[in-house]
């Protein structure tokens, strides 16, 4: 009656005031009222119908938004509070999305086990999921069906199976060593450690290296930085609330700009992954051309290789296209990085607040690992039940995925409640882990919950989805397949952090307690970063007498043997054990990160000199010059230093054979080259071999290389040592030590050294008449040796020792990046009115130093005579860099010595000499058929 009266009154007013504009306004009002009545009646009828069906309990809702007003940025906490009022299973409207929340172990079992087939899909009605999964072409969000089953089988048997994880164990070991070494550097420097940031860098690098041999966190910038930012942005957007995902009438409206940002992320990820896929395919084509296959036992594949294998397999059940591969890689990168890092950060926070637990964990590690001559490894984990219990207790209180999300594929009845198809299901793992019905004092951190009376891990309570009181990784067929990687990585990383360091809180306030506030996100991270100070507990560093009184070991390794007896060095080796890698970083910290040290390139790029050198070095590449570039003839002037019955030592000098343009760029001190020549006596040259030894970083004298070559006199092998430009007596007056002043100096040093070494080999061949020749070098000298062996017109023994394939690895990725004057390089560009960020400066450095990439040089005449000697725990040269060289030069050999960069050239001279002899033995004598 009220409505009728209202309309009658309005009609009367129209008759009294017949105005067309008013008529239109009133018509609009009436239509709006009628529409409201119709929509209201539809809603009322729908609710009445639903009331006839038994739905789970539900709190009062509001029109349009439903229950969205009840949720905060931490919905798992809100769901938990609602469950205390409305029960373990509740029904909610999140906008236009129908949802059900399960908050107890019993409810979770109903959905994930008893009715698993009805809840095996994941929600797909979100803008972020649709875009970043390439239209649900990955694995995580693919609909349950033949494609998903095929990818699950591939994932469990090939991608994350035991064989693949074992093959990629070295990647995890290498990245963990880098992580620990970085922590050690900060500890020595007295710097606070942002635990979350360091752990995120570790897990990002582990996952991306295992997936596609590409780091995602690096101070070098470039593609690593692009990948890191893509993953970071993806995680951020995926965890944000997007109003268009919950209100049907907003579906086509990009209110918050999500679609624009998602498109931009896709473009960056596509460009990056296209390059990575092309690199993998190029390597695969090269292997096929060389007659090898990706199935060889000694060929370690990454996950991308396996996906490419499947895509090329004509007999595969499902044909994978490029979008499938990209979507799967995105799934792994996003799903595998934050979760493990966040778990370990929460664990460290709990341990700081529970020092008794931390001390008990250390005691267990000491009992298992022994006298600490090695760092804990993954193979130790079965014997560390308390470490496992700490991680499980952390996952109970702080599951990284607080809500396990599913979607009902067909109408189901669960625990007597009607669940319509397309209903979104949220299993509140956070609430389940804090349920007092299953956990005594659930808010207390007590790893002992998971230990039996004998000190062993409880078998009836685990995190692998069979015990619904604890399901941080989900359960059933949609359970997270990455558990086989995430758990061992979390166990061993946490154990090594406790074994190697003592931790103290920096920002915990007066009470010294870490706050446990959560922050919103795709995972549930800490609201505030946890900053800790660490004290190193390695024995080699605890032994202050050895570390301080024998600091010459760190600062003057080239002169080590003058100060220490052979017995003393062996003792240090025994103590180092697995800590060679850390020693490299400690040495690097003292050499390159103290206030007293001078950085590399403190005077900038080198101006026009750099541009000239870039052009000249490119002339060495085979696409420009080929291998027919003749060396320059030289005539050294000799003087005898000493002579014995079996050998003689001479020193010589000659004008550097560089062309005028290069000669003018060199400092005057470097214009004359100096050599030392140690030669056996009473043997004709044609029956002898001679090896030219090139200078490594800091080789200012002939001493170390003469000591290396001296014993070879007995093998009728002569040693010729070349003093490099910018080193020794050829060092510019303003240069301190080996710290080159400009980037151009590094390229000058390399180009001039190559010219001089090639001329010396020519002299040994044509003038001295030696029967065999070779060239070797350590570290930087090894890079130069590889280039010389590559460019020489006749076969020579080529022996790079502890060498990278490119200076990019040393200065942009390795320890030396800490000793580079990045700010000075940026300021130098600013004087030329070129504004760059530090990351752009690092990218420019990578481009310049890519000219030193040995893989761009031609394959040597006899690759069988190429032997690389590399260290297993080298902190300066990563293994992948050595393997790049071997791949580029098929037929070459890599030999591994146990040690780091610093310790290996002190302790493995015998291995270097053996490689020299073996390499020369693979060459024919001059004049033989």
**Annotated binding site for heme, which residues?**
480
Q: Give me the residues paired with residue 774 across strands.
A: 691, 797
Pairwise CA distance, residues 575 & 568, whole Å: 11
Phi and psi at residue 98, in whole multiples of 5°?
Answer: -85, 130
Burial class, 562, CB count within 10 angstroms (exposed 0-12 / middle 13-18 / buried 19+): exposed
Quick one: DSSP state of residue 600? Answer: B
Joined together, the tokens standing for residue 201 give: 């860098």
Distances (CA, A) of 271 to 223, 230, 278: 10, 11, 11
Identify the three-state secondary structure at position 442. Answer: coil
For the chain, how far is it from start to end, CA to CA, in angstroms?
118
Cβ atoms 248, 96 nearer than 8 A = yes
Angle, helices 195-212 vs 258-289, to 10°: value is: 50
Pairwise CA distance, residues 101 & 123, whole Å: 14
Closest CA to 841 of 503, 589, 601, 544: 601
H/E element holding 394? helix 385-397
SS3 letters across 120-171: CECCCCCHHHHHHCCCCCCCCCCCCCHHHHHHHHHHHHHHCCHHHHHHCHHH
Burial class, 1, CB count within 10 angstroms (exposed 0-12 / middle 13-18 / buried 19+): exposed
Q: Give me the residues paired with residue 91 across strands.
A: 100
Pairwise CA distance, residues 125 & 423, whole Å: 11
Distances (CA, A) of 93 to 62, 67, 123, 307, 427: 9, 5, 15, 40, 16
Cβ atoms 7, 14 nearer than 8 A = no
Number of Cβ within 10 Å of residue 38's Cβ equals 10
Cβ atoms 788, 695 nearer than 8 A = no
Cβ atoms 174, 164 nearer than 8 A = no
Cβ atoms 516, 505 nearer than 8 A = no
Distances (CA, A) of 472 to 202, 246, 432, 475, 755: 21, 26, 10, 9, 62
- Quote the radius of gyration of the chain (alpha carbons, Å): 34
Phi and psi at residue 513, in whole multiples of 5°?
Answer: -110, 135
- Residue-wise over 514-553: b if at least 16 C-beta within 10 A, else e? bebebeebbbbbbeeebbbbbebebebbeeeebeeeeeeb
Number of Cβ within 10 Å of residue 389's Cβ equals 23
Joined together, the tokens standing for residue 399 give: 């599951």
Judged by phi (left if over 0) then psi (alpha if -120 to 50, else beta), residue 501 lies in beta
Distances (CA, A) of 394 to 234, 490, 677: 25, 11, 64
Q: Give me the residues paired with residue 693 across strands.
A: 721, 776
Joined together, the tokens standing for residue 538 give: 């390695």
Residues marked as binding? 480
- Only one residue has tokens 């033995």, namely 921
Burial class, 409, CB count within 10 angstroms (exposed 0-12 / middle 13-18 / buried 19+): middle
Cβ atoms 427, 400 nearer than 8 A = no
Joined together, the tokens standing for residue 548 give: 């301080």
């Amino acid at each position: 009656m009220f409505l009728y009266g209202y309309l009658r009154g309005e009609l009367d007013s129209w008759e009294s005031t017949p105005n067309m504009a008013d008529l239109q306004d009133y018509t609009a009002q009436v239509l709006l009222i009628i529409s409201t009545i119709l929509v209201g009646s539809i809603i009322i009828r729908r609710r009445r119908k639903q009331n006839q069906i038994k739905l789970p309990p539900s709190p009062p809702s509001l029109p349009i938004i439903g229950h969205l007003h009840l949720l905060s940025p931490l919905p798992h906490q809100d769901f938990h509070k609602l469950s205390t009022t409305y029960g373990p299973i509740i029904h909610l409207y999140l906008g236009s999305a129908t949802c059900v929340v399960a908050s107890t172990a019993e409810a979770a079992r109903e959905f994930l086990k008893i009715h698993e087939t009805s809840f095996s899909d994941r929600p797909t009605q979100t803008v972020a999921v649709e875009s970043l999964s390439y239209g649900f072409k990955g694995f995580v969000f693919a609909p349950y069906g033949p494609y998903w089953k095929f990818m699950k089988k591939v994932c469990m048997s090939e991608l994350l199976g035991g064989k693949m994880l074992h093959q990629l164990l070295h990647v995890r070991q290498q990245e963990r060593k880098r992580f620990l070494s970085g922590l050690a550097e900060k500890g020595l420097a007295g710097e606070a450690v942002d635990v979350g940031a360091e752990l995120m860098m570790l897990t990002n690098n582990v996952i991306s290296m295992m997936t596609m041999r590409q780091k995602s966190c690096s101070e070098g910038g470039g593609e690593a930085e692009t990948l890191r930012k893509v993953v970071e942005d993806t995680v951020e957007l995926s965890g944000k609330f997007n109003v268009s995902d919950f209100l049907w009438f907003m579906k086509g409206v990009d209110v918050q700009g999500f679609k624009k940002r998602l498109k931009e992320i896709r473009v960056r990820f596509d460009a990056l992954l296209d390059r990575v896929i092309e690199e993998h395919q190029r390597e695969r084509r090269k292997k096929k051309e060389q007659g090898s296959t990706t199935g060889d036992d000694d060929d370690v594949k990454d996950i991308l290789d396996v996906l490419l294998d499947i895509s090329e397999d004509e007999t595969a059940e499902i044909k994978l296209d490029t979008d499938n591969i990209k979507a799967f890689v995105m799934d792994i990168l996003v799903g595998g990085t934050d979760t493990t890092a966040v778990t370990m950060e929460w664990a460290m926070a709990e341990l700081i607040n529970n020092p008794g637990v931390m001390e008990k964990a250390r005691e267990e590690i000491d009992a298992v690992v022994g006298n600490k001559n090695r760092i804990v490894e993954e193979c130790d984990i079965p014997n560390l039940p308390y470490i496992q219990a700490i991680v499980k207790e952390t996952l109970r209180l702080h599951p990284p995925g607080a809500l396990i999300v599913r979607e009902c594929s067909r109408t189901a009845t669960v625990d007597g409640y009607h669940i319509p198809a397309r209903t979104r299901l949220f299993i509140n793992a956070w609430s389940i882990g804090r349920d007092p019905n299953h956990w005594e004092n659930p808010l207390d951190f007590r790893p002992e919950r998971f230990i039996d009376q004998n000190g062993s891990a409880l078998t009836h309570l685990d995190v692998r989805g069979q015990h619904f009181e604890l399901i941080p990784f989900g359960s059933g067929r949609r359970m997270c397949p990455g558990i086989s990687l995430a758990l061992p990585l979390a166990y061993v990383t946490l154990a090594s952090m406790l074994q190697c360091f003592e931790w103290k809180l920096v920002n915990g306030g007066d009470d010294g307690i870490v706050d446990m506030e959560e922050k919103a996100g795709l995972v549930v991270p800490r609201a505030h970063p946890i900053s800790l100070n660490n004290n190193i507990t390695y024995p080699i560093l605890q032994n202050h007498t050895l570390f301080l009184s024998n600091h010459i070991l760190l600062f003057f390794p080239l002169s080590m043997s003058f100060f220490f007896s052979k017995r003393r060095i062996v003792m240090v080796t025994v103590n180092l054990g697995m800590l060679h890698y850390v020693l490299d970083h400690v040495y690097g910290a003292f050499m390159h990160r103290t206030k007293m040290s001078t950085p590399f390139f403190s005077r900038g790029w080198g101006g026009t000199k750099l541009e000239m050198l870039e052009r000249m070095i490119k002339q060495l590449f085979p696409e420009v010059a080929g291998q027919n570039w003749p060396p320059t003839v030289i005539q050294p002037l000799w003087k005898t230093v000493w002579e014995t019955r079996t050998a003689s030592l001479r020193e010589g000098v000659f004008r550097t054979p560089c062309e005028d343009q290069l000669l003018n760029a060199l400092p005057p001190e470097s214009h004359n080259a100096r050599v030392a020549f140690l030669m056996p006596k009473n043997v004709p040259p044609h029956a002898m071999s001679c090896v030219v030894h090139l200078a490594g970083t800091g080789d200012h004298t002939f001493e170390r290389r003469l000591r290396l070559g001296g014993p070879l006199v007995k093998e009728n092998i002569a040693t010729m040592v070349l003093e490099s430009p910018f080193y020794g007596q050829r060092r510019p007056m303003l240069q301190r030590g080996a710290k080159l002043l400009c980037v151009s100096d590094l390229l000058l040093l390399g180009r001039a050294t190559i010219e001089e070494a090639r001329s010396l080999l020519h002299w040994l061949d044509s003038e001295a008449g030696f029967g065999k020749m070779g060239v070797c070098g350590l570290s930087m000298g090894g890079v130069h040796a590889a280039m010389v062996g590559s460019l020489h017109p006749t076969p020579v023994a080529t022996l790079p020792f502890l060498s990278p394939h490119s200076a990019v690895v040393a200065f942009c990725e390795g320890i030396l990046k800490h000793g580079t004057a990045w700010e000075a390089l940026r300021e130098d560009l600013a004087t030329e009115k070129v504004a760059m960020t530090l990351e752009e400066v690092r990218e420019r450095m990578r481009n310049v130093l890519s000219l030193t990439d040995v893989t761009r040089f031609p394959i040597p005449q006899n690759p069988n005579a190429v032997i690389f000697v590399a260290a297993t725990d080298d902190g300066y040269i990563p293994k992948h860099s050595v393997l790049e060289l071997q791949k580029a030069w098929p037929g070459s050999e890599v030999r591994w010595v146990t040690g780091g960069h610093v310790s290996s050239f002190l302790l493995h001279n015998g291995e270097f000499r053996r490689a020299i002899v073996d390499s020369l033995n693979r060459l024919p004598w001059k004049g033989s058929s």
